[in-house]
Structure 1
Amino acid sequence: MLWTWDKCVGMVLCCVCSLVGALLLHTLSLATYTSALPVLCLLSVLCYLYRASREVDVRGRVVLITGCDSGFGLALALHLHKLGVVVVAGVLREDSEGAKQLKKEQGSTPSIHVIPFDVTSPQQLSQAAQTLAQLLPSEGLWGLVNNAGVCSLGPVEWLAFDTFKRDTQVNLFGLVAATRTFLPFVRRAKGRVVSIASVAGRVSCGFLGAYCASKYAVEGFNDALRHEMRPFGVKVALVEPGNFANGTQLFATDEVVEREVAGLWDELSEDLKHDYGNRYCKKIEGFMKNFRRTGARDISPVVNALTEALTQEHPQARYCPMDPLAHAVTWIATHLPEAVYDSMVALLARLMLEADEV
């Protein structure tokens, strides 16, 4: 069993529930508060950890992962391969670095199968399903990991409408299409559907409108699917990573960021350039640079969360591989009045801009 921040949060919730239980027992005069609280805390935490430690043997089972060209998908495919899982790696391009690396790992008895397909293409998905059917054992597909995605950054008025459509087409409709295509194989195995959303699917901020819109929708789709699949014995989980821009190389260097912002600026009308001004352009550039710089380089927490979603006997509905600060910000944004979160974001944006100007 891996130790994660999710488990820390789970243990805290166990203690909070124990606190309520101890107060209830004290009120009913069944036990004193001071004697009931430590016993209830200990029992609830032990039960939680025991449930979290229960695992399924996945050696020899088949897991399909979309978006294995790079980033989380590639890292997960290599990790599951080491665990003895038969990996079907979906890639957008067969000549990508990820596809080449995975093919090198195949060995004499292939346990990694690279299948090129675009999640936004019905024809390619149908062909991938036919290929998968030939590879699968009679028990079906143990896991489907919806990882393929894109991320566009920029103000709402700056981004072309096609950019909004692209983020939604890949992150939402591509995910839905892939799920619908491969779900019959997963139902046969009573397996798992694991989708990658984002902390940006629960908490939004400026310059992430296109990306957040698609990820918020993924959250709703996944919750509906989880309820629908429960009678079939299929477990559905969502992984909500924090900022791992450094580890996934979303923007490789500051020069790449500057080119991205300059490209957006050049496409604006003269009226919009006049309204926003050069200072706002620098503000966006500073945000994107800091977004990359502050992102975690080590993506293993995300890989571990995805692995647990596939291997735990009782997987969580949500996994949140993010640092404590991101956990705190998410809690503030989802539990306190919006004015508190808005003020905090405005302060952080101002500090980031000032830091970049220095």
Structure 2
Amino acid sequence: MMQSGNKTETLQNGIIVVTGTSTGIGNATAKELASRGFYVLAGIRREIDADAVCGKNIEPVILDITNEAHIANLVRRIKEDPEKRPLRALVNNAAIEINAPLEVLHLSEWRRQFEVNVFGQVAMIQALLPELFESRGTIVNISSIGGKAAMAGYGPYASTKFALEGLSDALHRELEPFGVRVIVIEPGGVVSPMSAQVRIKAEKITHEMTPEHRSRYGGLMHAMVSLAESYIKDAVPAEKAGQIIADTLLTKRPRARYTIGRDAAMVRFLNWTLPDRVLDKILSRSTQAHYPK
């Protein structure tokens, strides 16, 4: 789609929408794509976040992907683009992460996470597909290696990413006959403000547990935080993740899925090759090593 003799002209004449660009992967991806010549409509939830993503070829737009009016405004902005640039791609990155044992996390928090991480992605795809059909564009869904294998305590976030993986599979097969590509990105540990918030969120959830829940899951919550913080030390910088995502958009024949980070590649390999019981033991051991002594 974007590899041709007039590549430079194509890049300079295309819009890409990236959601969730205030920080982390979304921010880095928006800046990387802009540096390569795309005009990026960068979704932010608050005006105050515009400064973090502003730059050449980047236009911050207020976009809460659970807000129908925001999505309608974005569609109007694309249709009324003064330069008549086509929409080349949608990078579905916006997400929230709240993890706790299934028994503990309130149902409203489960619903909120699905609203953003699944239904918000669907809303964006449905709204922008008419423009992507016209340009034979690309949809990039930012999943997680947690969408392939879920460790104890990570059920809420992982279940939304499993759902995103499934809908991406179906979408790929639905859109391929029309020339619209669907690519799934599965990051492992990436340095971002979301990863830095793990301890704060876990401590809040643990504090709100009943004594009975705390006796059952207090050790697991401690282990989840310790494990997450140990991953951060070797995590991929957000800028590197942004480069990988940009590279996939410039690949003539991209694969359906890409991992980011050695940890993601390893989990994906183990998930493919090992029986469930063996994988259970490996994941359980990695968690148990972080329980309080």
* Structure-2-length-normalised TM-score: 0.90
Q: AA paired with 2:226?
A: K
Aligned counterpart for 2:11 among listed residues 36, 59, 72: 59
Q: What is the identity, as a one-letter code, of the residue corresponding to 1:162?
A: S
Cα distance in structure 1, aligned partners of 2:119 and 2:16? 21
SS of the residue corresponding to residue 240 of structure 1 reads strand
Q: Does the Cα contact within 8 Å between 1:72 and 1:299 map onto a contact in 2?
A: yes
- 1:315 is aligned to 254
CA contact 2:23–2:52 (8 Å) conserved in 1:
no
TM superposition shift of 1:214: 0.4
Q: Distance in 2 between matches of 1:220 and 1:137?
A: 36
Tell me what 1:281 maps to. Answer: 218
In the alignment, which residue of structure 1 is the partner of 2:166? 220
Which residue is equivalent to 1:175?
Answer: 121
Residue aligned with 2:206, SS: helix
Report the alpha carbon displacement of residue 282 of structure 1 after superposing the two structures with TM.
3.7
Q: Distance in 1 between matches of 2:189 and 2:88?
A: 29
Q: Which moved more, 1:132-141 or 1:187-196?
A: 132-141
Aligned residues: 286
Residue in 1 that maps onto 2:290 = 352
Partners of 2:223 and 2:288 within 8 A in 1: no
Q: Which has the larger radius of gyration?
A: 1
**Equivalents in 2 of 1:147, 1:326: separation in Å?**
17
Amino acid at match of 2:18: I
- Equivalent-residue separation in structure 1 for 2:15 and 2:162 (angstroms): 29
Decide whether aligned partners of structure 1 residues 311 and 326 sit closer, same or farther in structure 2, where only a CA change above 3 A counts: closer
Amino acid at match of 1:102: V
Pairwise CA distance, 1:345: 1.3
Partner residue of 1:252 out of 163, 187, 196:
196
Name which of 147, 152, 159 aligns with 1:206. 152
Once the two structures are superposed, the pairs formed by residues 17-96 of structure 1 within 5 Å of their partners are: 57=8, 58-60=10-12, 61-96=14-49
Deviation per CA, 1:178-237, whole angstroms, max 9, x where unpaired?
111111111111111111001011111111101011000001111111111112111111
For residues 232-311 of structure 1, the aligned pairs below 5 Å read: 232-244=178-190, 247-252=191-196, 257=199, 259-273=200-214, 275-276=215-216, 280-295=217-232, 296-311=235-250
Deviations for 1:47-94, whole angstroms, at most 9, x for unmatched residues? xxxxxx989555212111111111111111111111111111111112
* 1:119/1:125 contact within 8 Å kept: yes
User: Could you tell me how far apart the structure 1 residues matched to 2:91 and 2:285 are?
Assistant: 37
Compared with structure 1, are the counterparts of its residues 150 and 347 closer, same or farther at alpha carbon in structure 2 (3 Å cutoff)?
Answer: same
Structure 1 stretches lacking a partner, 5+ long: 1-52
1:351, distance to aligned residue in structure 2 (A): 1.6
Q: Secondary structure at the match of 1:250?
A: helix
Note the alpha carbon deviations across 1:270-299, whole angstroms, 9 max, x for none.
4434x52xxx41431232132133130523
User: Are the equivalent residues in 1 in contact too, given 2:227–2:290 (CA < 8 A)?
Assistant: yes
Q: Which has the higher contact order (CA 8 A, sep 6+)?
A: 2
The letter for the 2-side match of 1:90 is G
RMSD: 2.1
- 2:159 is the counterpart of 1:159: no
Structure 2 distance, partners of 1:238, 1:297, is 18
CA separation of 1:164 and 1:136: change in aligned 2, threshold 3 A: farther
TM-fit CA distance, 1:139: 5.9
SS in 2 for 1:64: strand
- 1:313 is displaced (CA, Å) by 1.3
Q: Which amino acid in structure 1 is aligned with residue 202 of structure 2?
A: V
**In the alignment, residue 321 of structure 1 is paired with which amino acid?**
I
Quick one: structure 1 residues 62 and 227, their matched pair in 2 at CA, closer, same or farther if it must change by over 3 Å? same
**Distance change >3 Å, CA 136–CA 74, structure 1 → 2:** farther
**TM-score of the two chains, using structure 1 as the length reference:** 0.74
Confirm or deny: 8 A CA contact 2:99 2:202 kept in the other structure. no
Change (3 A) 1:301 1:262: closer
Residue pairs, 1:142-157, within 5 angstroms: 142-157=88-103
User: Once the 2 structures are TM-superposed, how far is the Cα of residue 132 of structure 1 from its aligned partner?
Assistant: 2.1
The SS at the match of 1:312 is coil
Q: Which runs of 5+ in 2 are unaligned?
A: none
